[in-house]
Chains A and B, each alone.
Chain A
């Protein structure tokens, strides 16, 4: 069974631009969560989607948004990029919310210049 896939793997953007990242969960998994990882703040929860609905949201500004499609694939968008948005963005999938094991994708490394 294929694991969680994320595209693109690497991205370089300039301040003020926007970016869209994509995540395809493990087949059969319907819950997708997004995390941001930086050296200073560690791994921080962004949001979670299940059945095309955002179920939980972390403490991030409104510039960070996401959505989930009927096939459980998810995208996250960051608008008006800032230098501090440079990070590894990780997607994790599980069968359903609160059901235990979550598996991470390889991540998208975003660099904002």
Chain B
């Protein structure tokens, strides 16, 4: 089976940096996704990592270590609009586009 763990809730201050961790256990790993989901809305694609290392996209960066089964999403220069749930999801080999999601991390950004 698969196990994907991420913290349930985090709080950070506007302008600060926050790191959201995700650990996973799976066979046939084929990539890790991060999505942002505002309350009542659909998930929005943030990043896809399949190789080890850091990928940066503006204020958001995502890191992957396949040997450790670990990823993190780094959000810089936090804005109030970043308050949302952040979902970590894993894709496996020979499973097409099937994603297994963690429970999500609800991030609250305070002034």
Contacts and interface: CB of A to CB of B under 8 A. Distances in A.
Interface of A: 31, 33, 35, 42-45, 48, 50, 55-56, 58, 90, 92, 94, 97-107
Interface of B: 30-31, 33, 35, 41-45, 48, 50, 87, 89, 91, 93, 95-104
A106 B42 contact: yes
Contacts of A43: 43, 87, 89, 99, 101, 104
Contacts, number: 64
B101 A103 contact: no
A50 B95 CA distance: 12
Nearest to A105: B42
B42 A97 contact: no
Given A43-B87, A107-B42, A97 B96 contact: yes
B42 A104 contact: yes
A55 B41 CA distance: 27
Contacts of A33: 96-99
Contact of B98 (A56, A100, A106): A56
Contacts of B87: 43
A106 B99 contact: no
A35 B33 CA distance: 15
Given A42-B103, A42-B104, A100-B31, A92 B97 contact: yes
Given A42-B104, A98-B96, A104-B35, 16 more contacts: A31-B96, A31-B97, A35-B99, A43-B43, A44-B101, A45-B99, A56-B98, A90-B43, A92-B99, A94-B97, A98-B93, A99-B97, A102-B45, A104-B43, A106-B41, A106-B42
